[in-house]
Structure 1
Amino acid sequence: MPKSQAPAAGGPPTETGRPIHSPQRRWVVLVVVAGSLFLAGIDLTVLHVAMPSVSRDLQPSAAQVLWIVDVYSLALAAMLVTCGTLGDRIGRRRMVLSGLLAFGLSSLACAFAANTAQLIAARAALGVSSAMIMASTVAIIRVTFTDNRERALAIGVWTSAHSVGATLGPLIGGLVSERWGWGAVFLVNVPVVAVLLAVGARVIPESKNPVPRRWDVLSVVLSVVGLAGVVYALKQAGEHAGINAVFLVSALVGTVLLYVFVRRQRTLAEPLLDFSLFSERRFSTATVCVIGCFGSYVALLFFLTQWLQQVGGYEPLQAGLALMPLAAANAVGAVAAPWLAGRWGNRAMLTAALLLFALAYAVIATVGDPGRYGTLLAALLAAGFGAGIVMTLGADVIMSAAQPERSGEAAAIQETSFELGAGLGVAVFGSVMTLVYGSVIPTVPGLGPDQQETVKESFTAAQELMAHLPSTTADAVLEAARHAYDRGFTTVATIATAGLVGTATLAAVMLRPRKGDAV
C-alpha cells in the first residue's frame, strides 16, 4: 500500500521534544516505527488464506466472516485521526508504546478466541491498536530526523514497511496456519511486539504538539457508530438476501449519524476531519481513486484466496504463493509510478492504470479458472501493476493538491482513505458474494429443507454438512457449492470492473489540467 505520506497527527513540525543526535539511535528509532507498521500491514491480510480453517473451527455466518476480515481495517480507519489528535495531547511516544502493548494483548485475544464474537471483538481491538501506532509514528520521525534528506529516506522506509507487510500477509498466513492452525498467525505478533516495546521504550523520544487541536469526543462517537451502522446494514443485506427491518434501521441510523458528523465538522473551529479540503477537485477525485482502487485490491486479495481454496482445492500455503505475483507486480507498479508520471503525467497514468486494473478484473471474471493458473497469472500481474501505480500517484495527487500548511490534515485523510477503502471493499463485495451464492446454488437431490438452507448459508456451512452425508450426496453438495461460489466471485469481479472503469472516467475528466494546475 504505497503512500507518499502518513497521518501527521498534528500539523506542522513545531513539536516539543529533544532531538536525537546519535545517528545510530535515530536509525534504531526508524527500525522500531517501521517494524510496527510492518506488523500492521501483515494483519490487514494475514487472515485471508486462513479464513477457511477459521470458518471450520468457529462456524461463523457469512456476515460474521466478513466482520472477522474487515473489522480490523474499519476500526483502524475510524480511529486514525482521533488517535493522532490524542497523541498530540498526551505525547506521541506514550501513544505508540501504548498501541504496541495493546496490539500484543489483542493478538493474544485473537489467537485464543473461543467463538466468533470473541474473534470479531479482538480484531476490532487490534485495529484500534494499529491506529494508535500509525497515527503518531510519522510525527516521531519528524522529531527524530532533523535533516531533510535523512527524513525523506526515513519516511520512504516507513511507508514501504506497511506495503511489504500487507504483501507478505497471505504468504505468512498460509505458512503458519497450515502448520500450526489459524490462531498461530496472531501469536507471531507477540514476540515481535515484545522486542519493539523493549527497544522503543529506550530510544523513542517523547514529543507533543505545543498547541494541540481539541479532541472532540462527540465527533469520534458519530463517525465510529455511523460507519458501523452502514457496514452492518451492508452485511445484513448480503446475509439475508435482500432488505429487511434490521437493514433499514441500521442503514438509516448509520447514514444520519454520518451526515450529522459531516455537518458538525463544518461548524467546528478545530474539526476532527476538515472536509473543506474536498472542495478542491483534484483532492476529492484522487481520494475517490484511492478508496476505489485499494478497496478493489484488498477485496481481490481476499476473494482470490477463498476462490483458490474452495473452488480450486488449493492448500493455504499454495494459495498464498499463488498471490505472490500480484503482490510483486504491485510493488513494481508503485516503484515505477513516479517515473511513468514524469513521462506521461499523473492524469494519464492514473486513468491508464485504473483501466488496466479493470481489464485484469474483467479477464478474471470471464476466463478466470483456478485450474488454469497460467491464464490467471497474466491477469494477476496486470492487476497488481495497475493498482500499485494508482495507490502511489493517488496519494501523491492528494498531497500536492492541498496547501503546504494543510499537509498534515491531507495526509490524515489520505491514510484514512486507504484503510476505509480496504474495509468497505470487503464489506460491499462480500455482501454481494453472499447474496449471489445463496440465490444461485441449485437444489441438491437427497437433501431435506433444513439441509438445503444450510448449504445456502455459505461454502463452509456446506462443507460442514458434507461430513454427515453419504458420499454421493456429499459430492453433489460440493459441486453445487463450488458452482455457486464461482458465480458469486464472477459477479464481484464484474461489478469491480465496472466500478474501476467509472473511476478511470472520473480521473480522466476531473483531473484535466486547468490554468495553474500541476496535474
Structure 2
Amino acid sequence: MLTETKQTTPHRWAALGVLCASLLMVGMDLTVLHVAVPTISRELLPSGSELLWIVDSYALTVAAGLITCGTLGDRFGRKRMLLAGFVVFGLASAGAALSVAPGQLIAARAALGVGGAMIMASTPAIIRAVFPDDRERSVAIGLWTAANSVGVSIGPLLGGLLIEHFWWGSVFLVNVPIVVLAVVGGALLVPESRDTRPHRWDAVSAGMSAVGLGTVVYAFQQLGEHDGAHPVVWATALLGVVLLVGFVVRQRRIRHPLLDVTQFADRRFSLSALCILGCYGAYTALLFLLTQRFQLLEGYSPLGAGLALVPLALANAGGAALAPRFAVWWGPRGVLSGGLLLGALALAAFTLFGATGNYAALVAAGLGSGTVMTLGSDAIMGAAKPERAGEAGAVQETSFSLGAGLGIALLGTVLSLVYRSDFAPVPGASAQQWDIARSSLGAATEVAARTGGRVGDALQSAAEHAFDAGFAVATGSAATVLALLGVLAWRGLRESGRRRHD
C-alpha cells in the first residue's frame, strides 16, 4: 500500500467528529446566504451581476478547486491541507463579515470557496486512511455525509436566526469560533497521511481542470440569469467544455496524470458520482426554491422560512446516518436506487400538490437524498485505489459542488422561463411595471407593494400564479431526472451488487 499514515488512530471517532464539524460549517456556507440576500441588497446595493457573484462565487470556487486540492493533499499531506483549509476559511469568513462593498464580499466568498475546497477534498481521503475497515468506514461516511447535509439544510435557519437578531455579517462571523476549535482538534486528533511515492505535480492539468470546471459552472449560472441570450455566455461554456475535454485527453496521455480517469471505467465509481451529482443538485435546488417561495410568496420571515425546512434537514440527516443499516438489510444497490426513486416521488408530490403544508414530501425528499449521498460516497471511496484516495475524494466532492451549482442554475432557469412566459398581462399596469414584475418574483412583490390598489393586487396575483407554474415545472423536471437515475442505478450496479453478495 502506498498510502502512509504516520500514527495510529486510537481516537478515530473523535477525529471523525472534527471532520464532521468542518463539513457542517462548509455545508452551512452553501445555503446560509439564501435568506440574507434581501438584507445584503439593501445594505451594499450590489448590481444584478454582483448579487449573482455574491451568491454563487463560493460554490463555483469550491467546484473549480477540488481536484487540485485533492491531489496536492495526496502529495504534501492531507492533514496539512485540512488545517490550512481551516485557516483560509476562518480568515475569509472574517473578511466577508467585515465587507463594506460588493466587490469585497465577492472576493471573500471566493476565498471561502478556496478554503472549502481544501477542507472538502481532504476529509474523504482522511476517512479512507483512518477507517480501513469497510463496515466502520461505511458508518463514518454516513455520519460525515449527514454533517454536510445538515449544514446545507440548517443554513437558511441559522441565517434567518442571525439576521433577525444581528447584522448580516454575523452569518459569516459565526464560522470563526468553529474554525478555532477545528484547528485545535485537527492538530491533536487527525493523523497525517499521504501518497508515499507522489509523482510530479502537473500544473497545466490543474489549471485546465480548475478553469474548465469554473467556466462551465459560471456559464450555467449565467444562462439561468440571462436565458442564454448572450453569445459571451455560450462562448464561455464552449471554452470550459474544450478545456475539460483537453484535460481528459491529457490525463490519458501523460505518464503521471493529475486525475486517473481510468477510475471512471469502473461502473460502480462513475454511476455513484453521477447519482450524487443529480441527487445533490435536486436537493440544493429544492432548498433554494422553497426558501424563496416561503419568504416571497407566503410571507414567512427569514427565521420562519428556515424553520419550515427543519423536517427536510432532520430527514436528510436521518437518511444519511441510517443508510449503512438500510444497506445491510436490502443491499447497497437497492437502497441507492430506492433513495433516488423516493426523492423523485417527493418532488412529484411538490409538483402535484404544492409546497404548503406538504410535510410528507419534505421528509421523503430528505430521507431519499440522505441515503443516496451516503451510499454514493461510500461506493466512490470503496472503489478507489488507496493511494489515489485524495483524487477519489475530490471527484466525490466535485460531484456535490457541481450538483449544487448546476442544480440551482438549471432548475432556476426552468422556473424563470416558465415564470416569464406564464406571467399574464395585468389590466391597468404600465408596460414598465409589467416588464419589471416579470423579471422575478421578488421584483413583482416590490412593484406590487409600491403600486398598491387593485393593480398592485393583480400584479401580485399574476406573479404568484406564474411562480407556482414555474415551481411545478422545475420540481417535475427534477423528479424525472431522479427517476431515470434510480432506474439507471438499479440496472447499472447489478454486477457490482452480485459480486458483493457472492
Q: TM-score, normalised by structure 1?
A: 0.85
Q: Which whole-Å deviations, capped at 9, do the CAs of 1:51-73 have from their partners, x for residues lacking one?
A: 34334545666666554434323
Q: Which of 338, 348, 358 is residue 344 of structure 2 equivalent to? A: 358
- The verdict on how the C-alpha distance between 1:479 and 1:259 changes in structure 2, with shifts beyond 3 A counting, is same
**Deviation of the 1:155 alpha carbon:** 6.4
Q: Which of 70, 76, 94 is residue 84 of structure 1 equivalent to? A: 70
Q: Which of 87, 90, 93 is residue 101 of structure 1 equivalent to? A: 87
Q: Which whole-Å deviations, capped at 9, do the CAs of 1:279-310 have from their partners, x for residues lacking one?
A: 12222222211111111111111111111111
Partner of 2:372: 390
Root-mean-square deviation over aligned CA pairs: 3.2
- The verdict on how the C-alpha distance between 1:86 and 1:336 changes in structure 2, with shifts beyond 3 A counting, is closer
- The verdict on how the C-alpha distance between 1:433 and 1:108 changes in structure 2, with shifts beyond 3 A counting, is farther
Partner of 2:251: 265
Partner of 1:48: 34
Q: Which of 469, 477, 484 is residue 502 of structure 1 equivalent to? A: 484
Q: Does 351-360 or 208-217 show the bigger shift?
A: 208-217
- The verdict on how the C-alpha distance between 1:112 and 1:459 changes in structure 2, with shifts beyond 3 A counting, is farther
- The verdict on how the C-alpha distance between 1:396 and 1:200 changes in structure 2, with shifts beyond 3 A counting, is closer
Partner of 1:479: 461
CA distance in 1: counterparts of 2:411 and 2:30, whole angstroms: 17
Give the SS at the match of 1:257. Answer: helix
Q: Which of 8, 13, 20 is residue 3 of structure 2 equivalent to? A: 13
Q: Which whole-Å deviations, capped at 9, do the CAs of 1:180-207 have from their partners, x for residues lacking one?
A: 2432211111233234445656776666
Map 1:450-489 to 2 at 5 A: 450-466=432-448, 468-489=450-471
CA distance in 2: counterparts of 1:57 and 1:163, whole angstroms: 30
Q: Within the alignment, does 1:307 sit opposite 2:260 as a pair?
A: no
Q: Does 335-344 or 420-429 show the bigger shift?
A: 335-344
Give the SS at the match of 2:412. Answer: helix
Give the SS at the match of 1:243. Answer: coil
CA distance in 2: counterparts of 1:155 and 1:507, whole angstroms: 20
- The verdict on how the C-alpha distance between 1:320 and 1:509 changes in structure 2, with shifts beyond 3 A counting, is same
**Deviation of the 1:116 alpha carbon:** 4.2
CA distance in 2: counterparts of 1:63 and 1:438, whole angstroms: 19
Q: Does 119-128 or 294-303 show the bigger shift?
A: 119-128
Partner of 1:492: 474
Structure 1 unaligned regions, length at least 5:
1-10
Q: Which of 148, 155, 159 is residue 173 of structure 1 equivalent to? A: 159
Give the SS at the match of 1:14. Answer: strand
Q: Which whole-Å deviations, capped at 9, do the CAs of 1:213-254 have from their partners, x for residues lacking one?
A: 432222222222222322333233333334331232122212
Contact 2:128-2:386 within 8 A present in 1 as well: no
**Deviation of the 1:483 alpha carbon:** 2.5
Contact 1:106-1:126 within 8 A present in 2 as well: yes
Q: Which whole-Å deviations, capped at 9, do the CAs of 1:392-413 have from their partners, x for residues lacking one?
A: 2222333344456655543332
> How many pairs are equivalent?
501
Q: Which of 388, 394, 399 is residue 412 of structure 1 equivalent to? A: 394
Percent identity at matched positions?
52
Q: Does 434-443 or 283-292 show the bigger shift?
A: 434-443
Q: Which whole-Å deviations, capped at 9, do the CAs of 1:146-168 have from their partners, x for residues lacking one?
A: 99999887766555433332333
CA distance in 1: counterparts of 2:462 and 2:123, whole angstroms: 49
Q: Which whole-Å deviations, capped at 9, do the CAs of 1:381-432 have from their partners, x for residues lacking one?
A: 1111111222222223333444566555433322321222122211221222
Contact 2:142-2:323 within 8 A present in 1 as well: no
Q: Which of 321, 326, 337 is residue 335 of structure 1 equivalent to? A: 321
- The verdict on how the C-alpha distance between 1:101 and 1:395 changes in structure 2, with shifts beyond 3 A counting, is closer
Give the SS at the match of 2:494. Answer: coil
Q: Does 288-297 or 391-400 show the bigger shift?
A: 391-400
Partner of 2:222: 236
- The verdict on how the C-alpha distance between 1:335 and 1:142 changes in structure 2, with shifts beyond 3 A counting, is closer
CA distance in 1: counterparts of 2:467 and 2:43, whole angstroms: 20
Q: Which whole-Å deviations, capped at 9, do the CAs of 1:478-519 have from their partners, x for residues lacking one?
A: 333322222222121011011111111211221223796337
Contact 1:71-1:124 within 8 A present in 2 as well: yes
Counterpart residue identity of residue 371, structure 2: I
Contact 2:145-2:373 within 8 A present in 1 as well: no
Q: Does 286-295 or 134-143 show the bigger shift?
A: 134-143
Partner of 1:322: 308
Q: Does 113-122 or 200-209 show the bigger shift?
A: 200-209
Map 1:23-422 to 2 at 5 A: 31-58=17-44, 67-137=53-123, 158-197=144-183, 200=186, 209-370=195-356, 373=357, 376-402=358-384, 406-422=388-404
Give the SS at the match of 1:96. Answer: helix
Q: Does 124-133 or 328-337 show the bigger shift?
A: 328-337
- The verdict on how the C-alpha distance between 1:29 and 1:478 changes in structure 2, with shifts beyond 3 A counting, is same
Structure 2 unaligned regions, length at least 5:
none
Counterpart residue identity of residue 119, structure 2: I
CA distance in 2: counterparts of 1:174 and 1:195, whole angstroms: 24
CA distance in 1: counterparts of 2:368 and 2:131, whole angstroms: 33
